[in-house]
Structure 1
Amino acid sequence: MKNRRVVITGLGVMAPNGTNVSKFKESIINGTSGIRGVEELKNLKFSCQIAGLPNYNENYLNNYFNKIQLRGLKASGMEYGVIAGMDAWKDAGLCINDSEVPLWDAGVIFGTGILGVDKFREAIYKVDEGNVRRLGSTTVIQTMASGISAFLGGMLGCGNVVTTNSSACSTGTEAILMAYDRIAAGNAEIILAGSTSDSGPYVWGGFDAMRILPYKYNDNPTKASRPMSATASGFVPGSGAGALVVESLDSAQKRGAKIYAEILGGHVNSGGQRNGGSMTAPNSEAVQQCIKNAINTSGIHANDIDAINGHLTATTKDPTEIKNWCEALDRKETDFPYINSLKSLVGHCLAASGSIESVATILQINEGFIFGNINCEDLHPEIQSQINRDRVPTKTFDFSANIIAKASFGFGDVNACVIFKKYNSI
């Protein structure tokens, strides 16, 4: 059976530089960074005392949680994911299912790397103090990894797949492709797909200990995240959530839904931690294979790609990623597509990065622009030897991209690449 066409009909985001799609779009167009100093990290003597995390008032949660749900809520990833997910659902013109019958054709695939770290810490102290009975009834759902998908699935009344995936930095992109595969095969009509990541010192401490976070920009936070730059010195930790309503074209047309873009296909693989791949480094052969397979399954040619939203973390691996794109596409210098990295504006949002960056990618297709890479005026010489300087824009400009490739590469040597296309009814 030929795969059905799959489209995006709703977007939601909780990003360091925008807590809704409108603010987020304005920020990425204007090059507004969401990275700032975090006093708690300074007090805890972190080397890197800055981060990208969504900024909102606690009262904002009243728009998404009732009083019972808010009681004892202490899981930032849960908050981010629910807000982004519910916003995407509403943006798609979908209603909350208030009947006793689940939506059999609607599901949730919402990934995370870790959930409820602060709640778990609170629980540990209470247990150690002998106060286990004071843990509260919501501790389990706030600390189990699948809590975010279960929470959203229950709020929306979804009766199809409701699950959480976890593949480090490729989690969000993988979740979108899992939704695509299920809908394309005819096993669902609508899936809320996305990912979320907790914020705070207990999430970011391990990376600070690895000395892969920048420490020279504590007094100048917005200059710290420098993907593809010669002066890049590590990734800035970030957090948040991104959400997309992935839907069959048939369903979207029947509802008269707005369509942001189409998903042509994609691919997920692993380098097996062989041939230079490890827990923290990619196997370049696998990265290239992932990109090539994504192109093949999408039914396009490498020359059809107008732009790339890369993983590009502001580490020593950025030149390697550019080289892998050049090899996989067999394109370089002036023939190379435009490429950007959202991490220059929000930092590395870990498990949430793929979904937040996919929202940015889809906005570029739908609104007709390519956002600029800030802090990249000094392009890395190894990158400049492979592609032309103008392929890495530092300012946003109008551009009608037809096809954009979005890729994520994660710890554990795992890869995911999705191909988005401007929607055409033909």
Structure 2
Amino acid sequence: MGERISNSRVVISGMGVVAPNGIGLSDFEKALRNGISGIEFIPRLAALNFGCQVGGIPPITQEHIDACFSPLQLRNFNSDGIIYGMIAAHEAWRNAGLEPEAESLDPDTGVIFGTGTSGIEKLNESIKLVDAQKVRRLGSNVVIQTMASGVSAFIAGHIAAGNQVSTNSSACTTGTEALLMGYRHIKAGYAKRMLVGATCEHGPYLWGGFDAMRVTNYRHNDKPEQASRPLSETAGGLVPGAGAGAFVLESLEAALERGAPIIAEVLGGQINSGGQRGGGTLTAPNPEAVKSCIKDSLVMSGIEGAQIDLINGHLTATVKDPDEVAAWAAALGRDKSNFPYLQATKSLVGHCLSGSGAVELVATTLQLQRGFVHPSINSEDLHPQIAKWVPREKIPQQAIDVQLDRAIKASFGFGDVNACVVLRRYNS
């Protein structure tokens, strides 16, 4: 590792995304601008008698996979979360002007890439083989596919990372937390560069628990594109999705030294927990902790709430959406007279669970970089409690072109855990 850098500015020099409505930055941006939903009817869920029979599955191709894995690695491979993470990481690395599969180890580059689960389908296959007393047929790559840190291990080998390599897991907060962990690692001078992000696989073994909790929308199985309805009075629950988002974070000095493209700057953020007190539970956030997380992220970023141009909310299309908007208003000190743009990326991709923060952070950063606000579809009937805080025009139904300087993104996860990050359009 080179000379330690203390308190450096941290910038984003590369991004990658695997989402239900687009693979890669170009397709994802087109989908965001045009309000294209990635939610589809899934026959397998109907056959299994799920209440919610729609979801978001990224439309990856074999070409995407072959660009990131060797034939040997793909032998008996069945872990979608790792595949999504690798595709997103590969794009981010290339997008940052860096080449994968380098020969020499890079001690100044690390990986923090999160997930909630790994290889559930593979694990199901393995359990059946073990129960049938056919353990020798498991193969040699079951462990790497089903261990949580499999995704960060694959990515580290792909980019020859020699600094910290680890996997975080904090439910829906995972992706936003991973970005902040990488940011802090660089800020403290422990690395010059971190590839961060999060992934989430799909399928009935993962989504079944949410269906059993009856927190998913079962009312739009015949109209899947209308199913994910954050901010709406007729929101019927979350729609499950899958995918991954990835970022290359660098100290500003390191990025400038190699002439890297600089997409945006990470100003700061905060990670906290509500401790499952004060109204917080295993499945619902403590409202005071949510507000503290947002307020502290502003303090850590050195800005005021009045300087925020765009909120990319957690906004899951449940009964908690109005409470979240009220928390944003209180924490930012904004009301209907001066509320910033507010959006729910989940309206387009569903709730990508552990990958949601990372996918939605890519959407947020793209809008800062490219100067637009994507629509929050299916919120024409804005919830009246939300309308008390936010003017209708601040939740666009069609994309609008507008220069944004600062955006704030938050994720609130099961376990009463929160993360919030502030981003700025890069100014030299």
TM range (shorter): over 0.9
Secondary structure of the corresponding residue to residue 217 of structure 2:
coil
How many residue pairs match? The answer is 424
Report if the CA contact (8 A) 1:49-1:215 is conserved: yes
2:110 maps to amino acid: G
Report if the CA contact (8 A) 1:334-1:391 is conserved: no
The residue that corresponds to 1:56 in the other structure is: 60
Secondary structure of the corresponding residue to residue 72 of structure 2:
helix
The residue that corresponds to 1:423 in the other structure is: 426
Instruction: Give the C-alpha shift of residue 216 in structure 1.
Output: 1.0
| Alpha-carbon distance in structure 1 between the residues aligned to 2:96 and 2:212 | 42
The residue that corresponds to 2:171 in the other structure is: 168
Give % identity.
Answer: 54
After TM superposition, which residue ranges in structure 1, 4 or more long, deviate above 4 angstroms?
none
| Alpha-carbon distance in structure 2 between the residues aligned to 1:10 and 1:112 | 20
Q: How do residues 276-295 of structure 1 correspond to structure 2 at under 5 angstroms?
A: 276-295=279-298
The residue that corresponds to 1:411 in the other structure is: 414
Secondary structure of the corresponding residue to residue 27 of structure 1:
helix
In structure 2, which of residues 179, 184, 187 is the aligned counterpart of residue 184 of structure 1? 187
Q: How do residues 72-221 of structure 1 correspond to structure 2 at under 5 angstroms?
A: 72-99=76-103, 101-221=104-224
| Alpha-carbon distance in structure 2 between the residues aligned to 1:89 and 1:199 | 24
Instruction: Give the C-alpha shift of residue 155 in structure 1.
Output: 1.7
2:252 maps to amino acid: L
| Alpha-carbon distance in structure 2 between the residues aligned to 1:135 and 1:6 | 43
2:36 maps to amino acid: T
Report if the CA contact (8 A) 2:19-2:244 is conserved: yes
Secondary structure of the corresponding residue to residue 68 of structure 1:
coil
Scaled by the length of structure 1, what TM-score is found? 0.98
| Alpha-carbon distance in structure 2 between the residues aligned to 1:369 and 1:59 | 30
Secondary structure of the corresponding residue to residue 419 of structure 1:
strand
Flag structure 1 segments of 5+ consecutive residues without an equivalent. none
Report if the CA contact (8 A) 1:268-1:290 is conserved: yes
2:299 maps to amino acid: N
Instruction: Give the C-alpha shift of residue 2 in structure 1.
Output: 5.9
The residue that corresponds to 1:305 in the other structure is: 308
Report if the CA contact (8 A) 2:6-2:189 is conserved: no
Secondary structure of the corresponding residue to residue 13 of structure 1:
strand
2:30 maps to amino acid: E
Q: How do residues 204-243 of structure 1 correspond to structure 2 at under 5 angstroms?
A: 204-243=207-246
Flag structure 2 segments of 5+ consecutive residues without an equivalent. none
2:398 maps to amino acid: K
Report if the CA contact (8 A) 1:97-1:103 is conserved: no
Report if the CA contact (8 A) 1:35-1:50 is conserved: yes
| Alpha-carbon distance in structure 2 between the residues aligned to 1:59 and 1:424 | 36
| Alpha-carbon distance in structure 2 between the residues aligned to 1:80 and 1:180 | 22
The residue that corresponds to 1:47 in the other structure is: 51
| Alpha-carbon distance in structure 2 between the residues aligned to 1:178 and 1:83 | 21
Secondary structure of the corresponding residue to residue 69 of structure 1:
coil
Instruction: Give the C-alpha shift of residue 260 in structure 1.
Output: 0.6
The residue that corresponds to 1:67 in the other structure is: 71
In structure 2, which of residues 333, 336, 347 is the aligned counterpart of residue 333 of structure 1? 336
Instruction: Give the C-alpha shift of residue 234 in structure 1.
Output: 0.1
| Alpha-carbon distance in structure 1 between the residues aligned to 2:229 and 2:52 | 14
The CA RMSD measured in Å over matched residues stands at: 1.0
Q: Larger deviation: 42-51 or 390-399? A: 390-399
Instruction: Give the C-alpha shift of residue 59 in structure 1.
Output: 4.5
| Alpha-carbon distance in structure 1 between the residues aligned to 2:64 and 2:338 | 46
1:164 maps to amino acid: T
Report if the CA contact (8 A) 2:339-2:389 is conserved: no
Instruction: Give the C-alpha shift of residue 98 in structure 1.
Output: 3.0
Scaled by the length of structure 2, what TM-score is found? 0.98
| Alpha-carbon distance in structure 1 between the residues aligned to 2:363 and 2:64 | 23
Report if the CA contact (8 A) 2:109-2:192 is conserved: yes
Instruction: Give the C-alpha shift of residue 407 in structure 1.
Output: 0.4
1:21 maps to amino acid: L
Summarize deviations over 1:226-245 as a string: whole Å, max 9, x none: 00000001000000100010
